[in-house]
Structure 1
Amino acid sequence: MSAGGTRAASAPGTVGPAGPTGTPAATAGGTVKTVREGSLEKRRAILAAARDLFVHQGVDRVSMDAIAARAGVSKRTVYDYFGDKRSLFLAILSDVSQSLLVTVGRALDEHLPEGARIATVPQLEETLTALAIELGTTIVGSADYAAGFALVAQERLRTPATEDDIATEAVARAFTERLAHFAAAGLLDADDPGLAADHFFALTVLLAYDRQPVPAHPDPQRVRQTMVDGVRAFIRAYGAR
């Protein structure tokens, strides 16, 4: 989730990276290269090796030879699976995105299911606080979150105009729909539920992450307090009176 852009869609080319069954891989120039069929285990090994090297050494400093050696495959195999380093980078972002989307989706379904019976603003604050704490403790401290944002940060430092990001459109849309429900029920004063969702994430998950180094190893108590304070501020701003 990017600050001020929790509704940001994934960058062009982040959908459909080379898979284990010969699916097309988008290259940096927008062309499509068909990779050979191969094993899921090899693909995972290459992605894991590349992610670790990219995070700790920087994308530009890592060679395809180093990735191949770390993954225990030939350099030709890396190229056959992903086409080039840029496509491999995008594939890592896509994998990180999907993992985070699943985690956040589960948290939403558990704490804020569709049709949740919440009748008062204090009840809504309690529910949103529980959701925020879960997101903060499971996402901010996760290896996927840290690795994904470290890679995006590296890319933006190198190319400030880059549009690469961790896809959060589905999560933001689901959360926005739930906030719209509470606005319609008179519990939130939010003419623009999407903007309210952006503010919620900025005050909670994004704020907790911004206070941590990359990769993140957050203090659970600090994260919890950030979530509690963030939801309190959100309710003060948007809670119906």
Structure 2
Amino acid sequence: MLNERRSRWPKALHDHDQAIGSSTRSKPRMRAAVSTPAGEARRRALLKKAEEMFLMHGFDSVSIDALIGEVGGSRRNVYDTFGGKEGLFEGVVSNLCEEYVRPIAELEIAASPAREALIDFADRLLTCVLEPRALALQRLMIAEAHRMPRVSHAIFSSGHQRVSTILAAWIVERQSDGILRADLPPEELADSFINIVITGAHLKALIGLTSRSSEPEDIRGIATRGTCLFIDGAQSGAGKASREP
């Protein structure tokens, strides 16, 4: 049963990534991938420096010429590789989203009791979304969403929706076990849990109202309280009787 549970997570991620891919292929920004080792190294250097500059200065204040001045190369190289400044920005966003979601996707909670599993999941999620670069990316996309809605949609799909898909796959198993209520859609339960856990701390961090919410002990406390609130509402009668979570 444990192996079956673990095997469903990669399938859920694959299905979700396929859906994201089909929604973004209609308007490709990036050009053909660079095939030479030197070209790939240059591409990575451009993305790394662009990430630093975009997050620090914003989209408008970063010019391709300023970026080239930092890492070398030419405007033609940037346009050939990324299709322009917006394509370069999309590359940065894609890399950051993958970096933040990967630790959550790699978390093994299938064998843990429900309460412990959800606390660990919430702890990992909060650690990721409260990371300074993640907050900077969120602030940047709030500022740019009105003129780059496709990039904003890609962030939502590869960030929040992907995390929700991961958690929903676990919830399906717990519903089958009789631990969580089966009369509620797993996707809605996953979204509700994520909102309970991250909304308050994330919003305060985004607008600078707190400087402590990213401390490990504070993150664990938020994760524990949010999980207890969720479990009390989502736990089935059988689960309450067994007190398994």
Asked if these proteins are the same fold (TM beyond 0.5), I'd say yes
1:45 aligns with 2:45: yes
1:220 aligns with 2:216: yes
Unmatched 5+ residue regions in structure 2? 1-15, 238-245
What percentage of residue pairs aligned between the two structures are identical?
25
Distance 1:157 1:211, change over 3 A: farther
Amino acid at match of 2:232: R
Distance 1:164 1:135, change over 3 A: closer
Q: Would you say the 8 A contact 2:100–2:129 is kept in 1? A: no
State the alpha-carbon separation in 2 of the partners of residues 75 and 212 from structure 1. Answer: 37
1:183 aligns with 2:175: yes
Distance 1:134 1:165, change over 3 A: closer
Higher helix share: 2
Query: SS of 2:155's equivalent?
Result: coil
Distance 1:70 1:12, change over 3 A: farther
Match of 2:134 among 140, 145, 161: 145
Amino acid at match of 1:171: V
State the alpha-carbon separation in 1 of the partners of residues 59 and 87 from structure 2. Answer: 12
CA-based RMSD? 3.2
Normalised to the residue count of structure 1, the TM-score between the two structures is 0.74
Distance 1:230 1:92, change over 3 A: same
How do 1:131-210 residues align onto structure 2 when only pairs under 5 Å count?
Answer: 131-137=121-127, 139-142=128-131, 145-156=134-145, 163-166=153-156, 167-168=158-159, 169-190=161-182, 191-210=184-203
Amino acid at match of 1:146: L
State the alpha-carbon separation in 2 of the partners of residues 89 and 172 from structure 1. Answer: 25
> How much does 1:37 deviate?
4.0
1:229 aligns with 2:190: no
Distance 1:13 1:94, change over 3 A: farther
Normalised to the residue count of structure 2, the TM-score between the two structures is 0.72
| CA distances 1:190-236 after superposition (whole Å, capped 9, x unpaired) | 42110000011111234432221379972333322211111111112
Match of 1:130 among 101, 107, 120: 120
Distance 1:163 1:12, change over 3 A: farther
Distance 1:152 1:94, change over 3 A: same
How do 1:15-34 residues align onto structure 2 when only pairs under 5 Å count?
Answer: 26-27=28-29, 33-34=31-32
Size of the alignment, in residue pairs?
Answer: 212
Structure 1's consecutive aligned runs of 4 or more residues displaced over 6 angstroms after TM superposition are 214-217
Query: SS of 2:126's equivalent?
Result: helix
Unmatched 5+ residue regions in structure 1? 1-6, 17-24
Amino acid at match of 1:208: A
| CA distances 1:27-59 after superposition (whole Å, capped 9, x unpaired) | 3xxxx7446545222111111111111112111
